[in-house]
Amino acid sequence: MRIEIGQRGLRYELLRYGHSAHLAQHSVLYVVFCAVLFAVCGSAGAQQTDKIFRIGYFDPSSASSSAVLVDAFRDELRKLGWIDGKNITIERRFLNQDLARASEVAAALVHLSVDVIVVTGTVPATAAKSATKTIPIVMANVGDPVGAGLVASLAHPGGNITGLSGLAPDLNTKRLEVLNDTVPNLTRVGVLKGAGADLANNLQLRELRTAAVALKIKLEEIDAKIEGNGLEAALQSANQKQVKAIMTTASPRLFAVRRNIVELVEKQRFPAIYFQKEFVDEGGLMSYGLDYDNLFRESAHYVNNILKGGKPGDLPVQQPTKFEFIINLKAAKQISLTIPVHVLERANQIIR
């Protein structure tokens, strides 16, 4: 990544697989703007009270699959002076992939009169927004909050929601480009998507379809049900459709079953790229995406400012500035795939 300072201020460019210049400019402007507002909010609410604040944490996956990210969030809060069990309590709620319960869980958190609700993903964010217009809501990671109707704009969110955008639609485009550069003569790609026509999937697929046309790649969109033998059926369907590589939409539901996905993809000997590094930790071939640990740490700073008196509607939504491209050469060897040198040169990390 290259950072430059010019007459128009800060600008960054992600080399080759980064975002387009206008996305990058907007991202950094929001970060700078946000930093200034954070400083103002922090100084205005610096005095501590004896009150124990209650934080609601709302995630669509499970406690075990999200543990590493929850730990990052709690650790950053601790650095900011907020100790779970001392001056804050964290009410954790997980849907365990049962998205139909989202409204029920959001209403329960509101009933507890929490001081702020931290949400992961579009479904919990939408449910929380419907449940309250007054309790501040912090998005730890929502792919497209403007497209989902959660905020009016990134710079001026308004209402009671702010936080971090995960840029999921745009990053899927970059993953498809990486696959195209990695797999020789790639003409057909299987896209595993969380079963159901939810908004987050639709927003991602819309951008992905456009990119596929430009790259002259045929997309085979495959529902990946995580219940029963749904994942096995999805990979069998991919094989029958004669796809040459696999990718997934960015989904907490799919993240929760990442080990199963990686094992099944490897069994079918598909080259694959994933949206989080934890898939590579499980033996996956490649990942290109956000530094999610950093994303959840940044969400703790939003909570800190809100607990000190900051108003969510005045805090710009940040776009991420840290991205990771990881390649697992062990996995490549297992499927007899040679990663081109020009692709390897762009990796942040190579597992040998």
> CA 207, 212, 213: angle at the middle one, nearest 5?
105
Quick check: 212 pLDDT over 70?
yes
Q: What is the pLDDT of residue 13?
A: 35
Domains of the chain: 50-166+291-322 (3.40.50.2300), 169-289+324-351 (3.40.50.2300)
Local confidence band at 199 (pLDDT 50, 70, 90 cut-offs): low
- For the whole model, what pTM was predicted? 0.73
Quick check: 309 pLDDT over 90?
yes
Q: What is the pLDDT of residue 305?
A: 97
Quick check: 30 pLDDT over 60?
no
H helices of the chain, where? Answer: 21-44, 67-79, 102-111, 122-131, 168-182, 199-215, 230-240, 252-256, 258-267, 277-281, 292-307, 329-334, 341-344
| Residue 229 CB partners (closer than 8 Å, separation 6+) | none
Q: What is the pLDDT of residue 169?
A: 66
Local confidence band at 7 (pLDDT 50, 70, 90 cut-offs): very low
Q: In what order do the strands lie in the sheet with 272-274?
A: 218-224, 188-194, 245-248, 272-274, 286-290, 323-328, 349-351
Quick check: 31 pLDDT over 60?
no
Give Cα separations from 33 to 98, 150, 290, 318 (angstroms): 37, 20, 21, 9
50 or 154, which is more confident = 154
- The residues pairing with 119 across neighbouring beta strands, listed in sequence order, are 58, 139
| Residue 49 CB partners (closer than 8 Å, separation 6+) | none
Dist CA 186 CA 147 (whole Å)? 30
Give Cα separations from 313 to 37, 53, 275 (angstroms): 11, 20, 29
Is the C-alpha dihedral spanning 126, 320, 212, 242 positive or negative? negative
Quick check: 337 pLDDT over 50?
yes
For helices 21-44 and 292-307, angle between their N-to-C axes, nearest 10 degrees:
40
Task: Give the tens place of pLDDT for each residue, 221-239.
Answer: 999 988 889 999 999 999 9
- Mean pLDDT, residues 270-281 taken together: 95
Local confidence band at 202 (pLDDT 50, 70, 90 cut-offs): confident
Q: What is the mean pLDDT of the chain?
A: 86
